[in-house]
Amino acid sequence: MERRDFLKKTSITVGALYAAGHLPLLAANSKKNPRKKKIGSLNIFTDPPAIEPITGELDKFTPAQEGTMRSAFAASYALLYWRNAKHGKATGDERGGIDVQMRDDLLQTTEKRQGNTVKTHIKGNRELGAAYTWTLESMFDGPDSRFVEDGSWDGRKMTVASASWKQERDTKHPLIHRWMLLPRIASGSIKKAPLKFDMLDNSTLIPDQELRYEGQVSVPVQGGTAELDSYLQTGRAIQPIHYLVDRDGRVQLITSSIVNWVLRDLQ
């Protein structure tokens, strides 16, 4: 079955299940979770912060119900752009997306935004999330815009080279590609201990990151409420990023500030 057909059928199936009220993830009157954490007068995990950049999208959002990111998977995320806030809800639109495929120790991504398509192939260690070697191809629609970079990480230094340049960056922590975080988060291992790492975002080094489990979030979605685990990433060169994950290991929502990701398909 072609992937596109599969996704289409999966979507129809989920829609039918939803209509019949058979989606276990959705609980219209979920009980309060004891792990919710109060800070000051705000519950930072259930009040808007973790989801606030995408609140305008959530009433149209149906969490994916099939697949898991704990084993091989192919996921598609929409890039939701935060534009403004009106009437107490975020407004924005879809400005691109990413396809992520993970199999064994190989991650492949195709990201589109701002007229730029970036394809990456990363070989690493699935369990650790570490990226050892990778290739990045960047293209625009215009002529003479393409370049290819080969990257590698030897445990202490990452090196990136194209036909024209070579760049080296020292690393202090394991180098983990940002989309290789998905299986790591899905595994639940970060619930036991925070993860300290340097993040590879395409070929850009984003150093000194920490990802930790923060508790559960009740997220209002189409037709009810989804109870999702919330993980918070903080560090240099990012705005705080929340990963919202269901109990079957699907990273459903990723929120930062201007750029946010919504899981559209998973197989």
Quote the tokens at residue 98.
Answer: 């990413």
Contact region with other proteins (CB under 8 A), list: 20-28, 64-72, 172-180, 205-213: 205-213
CA distance 79 to 17: 26
User: What are the distances in angstroms from CA 243 to CA 30, 46, 149?
Assistant: 20, 13, 29
Whether 249 and 68 have beta carbons less than 8 Å apart is answered as yes
* Interface of this chain with other proteins, residues 2 to 31, rule: CB under 8 A: none
Query: Is residue 62 a contact point for other proteins (CB under 8 A)?
Result: no
* Smaller CB separation from other proteins, 101 or 203: 203
Whether 117 and 111 have beta carbons less than 8 Å apart is answered as yes
Could you tell me how many residues of this chain bind other proteins (CB under 8 A)?
Answer: 60
Query: Is residue 116 a contact point for other proteins (CB under 8 A)?
Result: yes
Q: How far, rounded to the nearest angstrom, does the alpha carbon of residue 211 sit from its chain's CA centroid? A: 13
Instruction: List the one residue from 53, 63, 129, 174 that touches other proteins (CB under 8 A).
Output: 53
Query: Is residue 207 a contact point for other proteins (CB under 8 A)?
Result: yes
Query: Is residue 219 a contact point for other proteins (CB under 8 A)?
Result: no
Query: Is residue 109 a contact point for other proteins (CB under 8 A)?
Result: no
The total of other beta-carbon atoms located within 10 Å of residue 110's CB is 15
Query: Is residue 48 a contact point for other proteins (CB under 8 A)?
Result: yes
Instruction: List the one residue from 12, 19, 42, 106 that touches other proteins (CB under 8 A).
Output: 42
Instruction: List the one residue from 162, 222, 225, 267 that touches other proteins (CB under 8 A).
Output: 162
* Smaller CB separation from other proteins, 50 or 69: 50
Binding mask 77-106 for other proteins (x = CB under 8 A): --x-xx--x-xxxx----x-----------
Nearest approach, Cβ of residue 247 and other proteins (Å) = 24
96: alpha, beta or left, given left = phi > 0 and alpha = psi -120 to 50?
left
Q: Note the residues at the interface with other proteins (CB under 8 A).
A: 39-40, 42, 44, 47-49, 52-53, 55-56, 79, 81-82, 85, 87-90, 95, 113-116, 118, 138-140, 142, 144-147, 162-167, 169, 201-208, 232, 234, 236-240, 255-259
